Amino acid sequence: MSSVRSRGAFIVIEGLDRSGKTTQVATLQTRLETEGIPVKLFKFPDRTTTIGQMIDSYLRSQSELDDHVIHLLFSANRWELAASIEQLLAAGTTVLCDRYAFSGVAFSTAKGLSLEWCRSPDISLPAPDVTLFLNITPEQARSRGGYGEERYEKEELQRKVRDVFQQISSEFTEATWVTIDAGREREDVAEDVWKIVYPLTGGLAIPLQRLW
- Binding residues for Na ion, per CB under 5 A? 22
Q: How far apart, in Å, do the first and last CA atoms of the chain sit?
A: 33
Give the residue, chosen from 7, 21, 119, 162, that forms a contact with ligand T5A under the rule CB under 6 A.
Answer: 21
128 belongs to the binding site for ligand T5A (CB under 6 A): no
Give the residue, chosen from 5, 68, 144, 154, that forms a contact with ligand T5A under the rule CB under 6 A.
Answer: 144
5 belongs to the binding site for ligand T5A (CB under 6 A): no
Site for ligand T5A in 88-117 (CB under 6 A): 99, 103-104, 107
Instruction: State the SS3 of 156-184.
Output: HHHHHHHHHHHHHHCCCCCCCEEEEECCC
- Which DSSP letter does residue 17 get? T
Chain Cα centroid distance, residue 140: 20
212 belongs to the binding site for ligand T5A (CB under 6 A): no
Which residues make Cβ contacts (< 8 Å) with residue 109, sequence separation at least 6?
Answer: 115, 118, 160, 164
22 belongs to the binding site for ligand T5A (CB under 6 A): yes
Residue 56, by phi and psi: left (phi above 0), alpha (psi -120 to 50) or beta? alpha
Nearer to Na ion, 6 or 30 (CB): 30
10 binds, among Na ion, ligand T5A, none (CB under 5 to 8 A by kind): none
How many Å apart are CA 80 and CA 47, to the nearest integer?
Answer: 12
Site for ligand T5A in 184-203 (CB under 6 A): 185-186, 189
Which spans of this chain sit near ligand T5A (rule: CB under 6 A)? 15, 17-23, 44-45, 59, 74, 99, 103-104, 107, 144-145, 152, 185-186, 189
